[in-house]
A and B are shown apart, each in its own frame.
Chain A
Amino acid sequence: MKTIFLLSVTFLLTQSLFAQEFDFFEPKTTIGGYGELHYNNEKIGDAPSKAIWDFHRFVLFFGYSWSEKWSFKSEVELEHNFVKNGQGELELEQAYVNYHHSDLFGFNVGIILPSIGLINEFHEPPLFFGTERPVYHNLIIPTTWFGSGASIYGNYNGFDYKLTLFETLNSDKFSLSQGIRPGRMKGFKPDASRFLYSVRLDYLNFPGLKIGGSFSFNNAKGDSTSIDITITEFHAKYDANNLTAVFEFGNINYNSGELRASRGYYFDLGYNIASIPDWNSKIIPFVRYSDINTAAETLSGGNSEKLYHFTEWMIGLSIKPIEQIVFKLDYSERTRKSDDRKSKFLNLGVGYMF
């Protein structure tokens, strides 16, 4: 009896001592956000040019940590500033419970972002070149891609993995001009009898470099179609020594229907010229080349595989007075491959994150 009593006292004393001495965690609410205001001027072919102002995204993050292991994270987004008659969108882009066991293993479940491509999970404006997100991240990997799901993640020796079980796409909505983009269910009552399965692996232990890829499979279904798709993508970003270089390539295969493959890639190259006079702000001129074909392979073949193929050159400037604020300017020319039609875009923007 005495022994048990002594052990219990020791136990309680040692635990409270260890716990107090190095216990830095306190339950905490976190608020964050990002936003971006754009000026878009576009001239498609011979049509007159059109210019608009667009507060494209206003996003608030709310999170709460109950303990070091259990937390909640969310992201609510208002797109285009106003919602009416199908214009503008109010979206719950993230809302999940996270369990972080250790570096090796954690999981989350709720409304999540599949880990496909560089931008879907990390889409704050200061993190990418160009006022609008790269066209690759509109038409090949459709960002922001969010919905119901769960994922397991971890990091070991520089290798960062994520396995995701995610809501299905609606195959009725796949299109030659936009690939899988219109098929996103956005967490709105998706069919729970099928899933998108995704695995992503990155390597991060070379300073400044992130390199990796992902593979996803979905037996997508709609009211009238059922199409198995695979998404294979490769991504690399190097950001060090004042140099930023990005490359991404993605391919989507469809096993039935007219559309059989969507394919595209882009690369960015930028250099922080403010480093030459040793200024603290960043002034980064950049160049981007994109090659996009949402209908790279079709059942009909021939010319139908050229209709949605275009290339685009962009030159632009990102000015970051501090790391969390960016002013952007870019000009791009898009050439449609089937008829050489040229479209021109001039964009200005300001973005922030906190």
Chain B
Amino acid sequence: MKKLTILFLLLNAALFPQDIKENINRAIQSCFGKDIQVQYEKVKIEQNLKKEIETKVSQKFFSDEIYFYKIFNDKSLKGFALLDNVYGKSLPITFIVMFDTNGKILCSEIIKYREPYGGAIQSKEWNSQFIGKDDNSEFAVGKDITGISGATISVHSVTIGIKKLSILIKSLLKK
């Protein structure tokens, strides 16, 4: 029975790889370290705030809900993470941004990229450009963010997506 269960779970995992979930855990741990506890909830973005942010950055939210993670180490709050999606040329790009307790970006990662072109956007080198930015930063491709040749649309979408989350986290912190 035990053997059968293990075989079954392996088969289950192989057929439907939970790559998004695994990538989220890996991204949070690589940013905050392994010795952490994570609380997670789906947060509904308040309508007025949603509209205000969308107008400010000229990009819509992927949905009304956002994935909000609180990261603790020995019961002390270390920071936050927000998981969201933006559209590339035609498919969603799933990404996560990790913040310190003041809403400054600590790390950002592409969790899942689905487009055939522009995969280089997942590189550590490109994502490291966002470290230290917050809601007051410019987030302008070609100025404070370097583009990627062949990934123009994805680079713009993700950059604005990260800007959106930097503004949103400040509102979530006030609550």
Please report A residues at the B interface, Cβ cutoff 8 Å.
3, 7, 10-11, 14-15, 18-19, 21-22, 24-25, 28, 30, 32, 63, 65, 68, 71, 73, 98, 100, 103, 106, 108, 118, 121-122, 127, 153, 155, 158, 160, 204-210, 237, 239-242, 272, 275, 280, 282, 323
A202 CA to B129 CA, complexed, in Å: 22
Residues of chain A lying within 8 A (CB to CB) of residue B123: 158, 204-205
A interface majority secondary structure? mixed
Q: How far apart are B61's CB and chain A's nearest CB, in angstroms?
A: 12
Query: A242–B17 Cα gap in the complex (Å)?
Result: 41
- Interface of chain B residues 79 through 118 with chain A (CB within 8 A): 85, 89-92, 94, 112-117
Q: Which of B1, B21, B91 contacts A25 (CB 8 A)?
A: B91
The smallest C-beta distance from B138 to any residue of chain A, in angstroms, reads 9
The reply to whether A100 and B114 form a contact with Cβ atoms under 8 Å apart is yes
Counting chain B residues whose Cβ lies within 8 A of the other chain, the interface size class is: 35 or more
* A240 lies within 8 A of B147 (CB): yes
The answer, yes or no, to whether B18 is at the interface (CB within 8 Å) is yes
Q: How far is the CA of A272 from the CA of B143 in the complex (A)?
A: 10
- From A10, A106, A155, name the one whose CB has the most chain B CB atoms within 10 angstroms: A155
A153, A207, A208: the one within 8 Å of B116 (CB): A153
Determine the chain B residues whose CB is within 8 A of the CB of A15 once the complex forms: 12, 16
Q: With contacts A68-B114, A118-B149, A127-B152 known, is A207 near B91, CB below 8 A?
A: no
The chain A residue with its CB closest to the CB of B63 is: A24
Could you say which residues of chain A place their CB within 8 Å of the CB of B129? 207
Q: Determine if B125 and A206 form an interchain contact, defined as CB atoms under 8 angstroms apart.
A: yes
Instruction: Tell me which of B8, B85, B119, B150 contacts A11 (CB under 8 A).
Output: B8
Known A3-B1, A127-B152, A282-B142: A207·B92 in contact at CB below 8 Å: no
Q: Residue B49 at the A interface, CB < 8 A?
A: no
The residue of chain A having its C-beta at the shortest distance from the C-beta of B94 within the complex is A24
Interface residues of B in 140-166 (CB under 8 A from A): 140-143, 146-150, 152, 156
Residues of B contacting A241 with CB < 8 Å?
A: 146
- In chain B, positions 1-42 with a C-beta closer than 8 Å to chain A are 1, 4-5, 8, 12, 16, 18, 20-21
Please tell me if the beta carbons of B125 and A121 are within 8 angstroms of each other in the complex: no
A104 to B, closest residue via Cβ:
B119
Q: Is B122 an interface residue (CB 8 A)?
A: yes
A207 touches B126 (CB 8 A): yes
- What are the 10 tightest A-B residue pairs by CB atom distance, in nearest-first order? A30-B90, A155-B119, A204-B120, A210-B149, A240-B146, A22-B20, A208-B146, A207-B146, A24-B92, A24-B85
Known contacts A155-B119, A240-B147; 16 additional CB pairs below 8 A are A22-B18, A24-B92, A25-B91, A28-B91, A63-B89, A153-B116, A160-B119, A160-B120, A204-B148, A204-B149, A204-B150, A207-B126, A209-B149, A237-B149, A239-B146, A323-B156
A66 to chain B, nearest CB (A): 11
What B residues does A18 contact at CB under 8 A?
16, 18, 21
- Docked CA distance A155–B143 (Å): 26
- Of B20, B112, B147, the contact of A239 (CB 8 Å cutoff): B147
The answer to whether A11 touches B12, judged by C-beta atoms less than 8 angstroms apart, is: yes
Report yes or no: B116 in contact with A100, Cβ–Cβ below 8 A.
yes
* Chain B residues, CB < 8 A from A98: 116
Q: How far is the CA of A231 from the CA of B114 in the complex (A)?
A: 31
Task: Give bound CA distance, A7 to B1, whole Å.
Answer: 11
Complex contact B125–A25 (CB within 8 A): no
Q: Is the CB of B120 within 8 A of A63?
A: no
Picked from A32, A106, A155, the residue with its CB within 8 Å of the CB of B120 is: A155
Return chain B residues, CB-CB under 8 Å to A3.
Answer: 1, 4
A11 and B16 alpha carbons, distance in the complex (Å): 10
Which residues on the B side are within 8 Å of A208 (C-beta)?
146-148
B141 A323 Cβ-Cβ under 8 A:
yes
B16–A65 touching, CB < 8 Å = no
Q: Please give me the residue from chain B that is nearest to A19 by CB atom.
A: B16
A-B contact pairs, 13 of them (CB 8 A): A3-B4, A11-B12, A30-B89, A63-B89, A71-B91, A121-B117, A122-B149, A204-B123, A205-B120, A207-B125, A239-B149, A275-B143, A280-B140
